[in-house]
Chains A and B, each alone.
Chain A
Amino acid sequence: MENLVYRHNRITRATHWIDALAIMILVMSGFQIFNAHPHLYWGNTSEPDRAFLSIAATSDDGEVRGFFRIYGWKLDTTGVLGAQNTDMGPTPRAFPSWITVPGYFWLAGGRRWHFFFAWIFVLNGLLYLIYNLANGHLRKFLFTARDAARVPAMVLYYLRIRGSSPQEGEYNPLQRMAYTSVFFVLTPLIMLSGMAMSPQLNTAFHWLPAMFGGRQSARSIHFILTFLFVSFTFGHVFMVVMTGIFNNIRSMVTGWYREKGPDISEPGWIQNFKEEMIQKPAKVPVLHQLSSPDVEEVRPVEETLPACIEPEEQNKDISKSATQDAQIPLESPKQVLLTYTDEAKKDKSE
């Protein structure tokens, strides 16, 4: 049985995809900018012998070899990093053309893309933030001390060591931790470290590069945070794929997500359903998870759930109800679904 629930509002969906595009362009044009001076330093200045990270090329013996070096550790990365294979043989280039915007080496172009999409990223993020703060959606995944206590349990659940999920509400503790840290820590930091590189802003805000330990430190941190964004994105996409790629993508395109519910077509579904309810405390009903971001008034329905039905009684119920939906004494998931559908339509027609 499938229950379609309206999970993501229009603004969330639109800003999600704009954000995805903006982050992709920002990362790729950022690599283009990095290519102009592929070394990172700590402090205010860039003494050539003090780079802690370099993605560059050597041409000893006339042969161009690309390398990646971080502190004392060096790796030959010819063909991928430092030197790219071209028609004319390996050519020095920190990040290869297929991962930079624009593809050919042009710092000015990279800067144009970067600064334009930085505006898109910020304005889009503000729209998301203001809209979802106003409607209370953001509260659902704000990481709290309560969630922090549940993180180990959630990790164990993901590792399949623990049988039940400690999830409460729509987002589990790890999701809350990930989203909260990306939205409220990573994003402000990457914006500030980017702005810390601006000579104009530095005239009025000396603290801006100072808070990162100097302008070159700000540049290095900007670069490192980029990889935190990239790893978040990979983790995000991995989870999207693992938890039902089609369903997840549909919910972020159309808003509708298919919740797992009891399979009514299967005989004995209600027994399974009830057993599940008995196992779980009544406060964490399936319906709670069903609730769509914009629907609050559906909550009372959970009171009608058979949270504490005696096992003996249950058996009688199954024989009656297993064959026909119409005889189910409970409010069926389908009825609940109707409520959501109406609400979602309202939201859409706004």
Chain B
Amino acid sequence: MNLSRRHLLLGAVQGAGLLLLSGCEKAFNSLQQNKKFLSVLESAEGANQRLQRLLTGKNKLAQEFTEQEISRYFKPNGNPPPITMDYAADAKKQWSAWRLEISGLVKQPARFSLTDLKSMPARTQITRHDCVEGWSAIAKWKGVPLTEIMQRVQPTPEARYVVFHCMDTDDNGALYYESIDFRDAHHPQTILAYEMNDHALPIAHGAPLRLRIETQLGYKHAKYIRKIEFVATYDKIASGKGGYWEDQGYEWYAGI
């Protein structure tokens, strides 16, 4: 075989390889656009949720760490803080105007000030925050267990989900929100945190109030909460997938 033929052959092999790779890339991408195929892929979510919850059982506590293990750096992720005048002005006044509104399928709708929340029994926990991106950071959180709120407002039997409406928005103005079910709402480590590492919750981390739900990934931990709504279904909220990131294709069940 002479040199030019060898080059030709090598070129052909390389070309075929590249064609195969770019073909694969196109195939994967078009499959990803295909609704039916996507729903097949998405079927893994329910399987993961059922199997993982079956394996773990209810109310098992996530690992708690020591003060020494607290991360030096904790990435403030997600949307930027709310940039409204009201928010900034209220931040200066230690959230004296802010109220947590509890509504929806509850017997006693309520509005709580930050002082009200701080007067309720609190829980402090040093836990690991796991972001869907892959990083982890440990911090100390103090807040009101969600069960304390639930005892006060009395959800009706129809209520199945707890929806957290937030003040932060993305570039397009879409408001952040999240939802969890009662199994996680009753988890002892599910708290509405107003303190981080012994200081008032910083603005970057969701002041004045954020959710800690240690059974799931970071994007479930709604920040800048203004309203908690008890609902039977979250179909009617925003794009109907139960959360800001869920509306963009992420799993509602973020335990994995």
Contact = CB atoms under 8 A, between A and B. Distances in A.
Given A102-B32, A108-B250, A112-B249, A203 B60 contact: yes
Given A108-B249, A112-B249, A34 B134 contact: yes
A171 B251 CA distance: 44
A115 B128 contact: no
A313 interface: no
B130 interface: yes
Contact of A44 (B40, B136, B216, B248): B136
A119 B52 CA distance: 13
Task: Select the residue from B24, B61, B215, B256 with max chain A CB neighbours within 10 A.
Answer: B256
Nearest to A203: B60
A116 B134 contact: no
Contact of B249 (A44, A98, A106): A106
Nearest to B213: A199
B133 A37 contact: yes
Contacts of A98: 21-22, 24-25
Given A37-B133, A102-B29, A102-B32, A203 B249 contact: no
B105 to A, nearest CB: 26
Interface stretch (A45-53, A242-250, A264-272, A286-294): A45-53
A46 B137 contact: yes
A109 B133 contact: no
Interface residues of A, number: 43
Task: Select the residue from A45, A197, A205, A209 with max chain B CB neighbours within 10 A.
Answer: A45
Interface in A187-221: 197-206, 209, 215-216, 219
B136 A200 contact: no
Contacts of B250: 107-108, 111
Given A47-B73, A200-B52, A204-B57, A37 B43 contact: no
Contacts of A132: none
Contacts of A273: none
A109 B28 CA distance: 10
Nearest to A119: B44
A198 B52 contact: yes
B52 A44 contact: no
Contacts of B255: 198-201
Contacts of A113: 41
Contacts, number: 128
Given A112-B41, A202-B62, A215-B136, A197 B71 contact: no
A203 B63 CA distance: 7
Interface residues of B, number: 54
A85 interface: no
Given A44-B65, A45-B136, A101-B28, A200 B43 contact: no
Contact of B138 (A45, A99, A109, A199): A45
A206 B63 contact: yes
Nearest to A29: B28
Nearest to A97: B25
A28 B65 CA distance: 34
Contacts of A206: 63
Nearest to A118: B44
A219 B132 CA distance: 12
A257 B101 CA distance: 72
B25 A103 contact: yes
A198 B128 CA distance: 12
A295 interface: no
B71 A198 contact: no
Given A111-B251, A119-B47, A203 B215 contact: yes
Interface in B115-146: 128, 130-138
Contacts of A119: 44, 47
Contacts of B8: none
12 contacts: A98-B24, A102-B29, A102-B32, A107-B133, A115-B45, A199-B214, A200-B52, A200-B255, A201-B56, A203-B60, A203-B215, A204-B56
Interface of A: 28, 33-34, 36-37, 39, 44-48, 97-99, 101-104, 106-109, 111-113, 115-116, 118-119, 197-206, 209, 215-216, 219
Interface of B: 21-22, 24-26, 28-29, 31-32, 38, 40-45, 47-48, 52-53, 55-57, 60-63, 65, 69, 71-73, 128, 130-138, 214-217, 245, 248-251, 254-256
